[in-house]
Amino acid sequence: MGHPIQGDVTVDSAVRAAAGVLATAGIEAAGAEAELLLAHVLRMDRRDLAKRRAVGDELLESAAARFHDLVARRARRVPLQHLTGVAHFRRISLDVGPGVFVPRPETEIAVGLALSAVLAAPWRPVRLVDLCAGSGVIALSVVKEAAAAGVEVSAVAVELSPAAVVWTRRNVERLGAGRVEVREQGVAQCCTDLDGRVDVVTANPPYIPDGAVPRDPEVRDHDPAVALFGGADGLDVVRQVARTAARLCRADGSVVIEHGEYQGPAVAGILQDAGFRDPVTHRDLTRRPRTTVAVQDC
């Protein structure tokens, strides 16, 4: 990629040039991402950046050089969140980088469903276990939003990958305020001390079939394979999650599992086989069926 910002440039012209580069690279929200990258370089939010664009402020050469580097890397489809180090999600911002799955907007639906289950639980404090926790996005979001609603949640975030659990711990230390415990364990063997005592189990497990190739280069080339691929049919870890959730949940406890858009019926069957009842699959923000909720049979 040629240098899109050479010589004396304004903040506005730098953003416009970068947006053109990103659009050519196939990035849909090119203008917004150019703004986010320059705001990151200048250590300001997008509102302040907009003011600097409006008044024609010039961009220092050092900032322009750093911005150019980030734009070039983003054009090569390095995830935006890896470049800024931050993933914004609902009411929190998470530290992310290589080795951990970057939270996606579709997981917001899973968090909303888990939060509903937490608020409806009769026990206090509510006990939640988040399997395949990754960045800790589900556990931390539910704990924070439940607290805002006046409900205390005691959560355990379970993550097996040593590379990912670094990020889990970092986010929990910054955002968990002592309400989230991190356990570096596999799904099948985890949390035996909590058997029959958990109100809500959540999971965004790997669910892509081993032979499939993710469409987006950000996922295909940068998300860790351990967070993506779930066996021949993509459901090996989902089956483990269902069995573990059945072991952990108290009577009438809930399980919330995110999955692929064509896997809803299979996931519902897996949950029923594990002893859950009334599975319901919910659609994400793009109207794709992506999250299934079920209740532990009495």
Q: Give the long-range contacts of residues 210-218, CB within 8 A, separation 24 or more.
A: 210/234, 216/77, 217/77, 218/77, 218/78, 218/79, 218/102
Averaged pLDDT, 121-140: 96
Interval 187-242: pLDDT, tens: 999 999 999 999 999 999 999 999 899 889 999 999 999 999 999 999 999 999 99
**Residue 8 confidence (pLDDT) above 90:** no
- Would the CA dihedral through 23, 91, 165, 201 be positive or negative? negative
Report domain extents, the chain: 11-76, 86-296
Alpha helices in the chain (DSSP H): 11-24, 30-42, 46-54, 61-75, 80-84, 107-120, 137-148, 162-175, 217-222, 236-248, 264-273
How far apart are the C-alpha atoms of 36 and 56, rounded to whole Å? 18
Tokens coding 213:
């190739």
pTM of structure:
0.92
- If phi > 0 it is left, if psi is from -120 to 50 it is alpha, else beta; for residue 114 that is alpha
CATH code matching the domain that covers 86-296, chosen among 3.60.40.10, 3.10.50.30, 3.40.50.150, 3.20.20.30: 3.40.50.150
CA distances from 39 to 48, 53, 58, 60, 149 (A): 8, 11, 14, 13, 32
Q: What is the pLDDT of residue 298?
A: 65
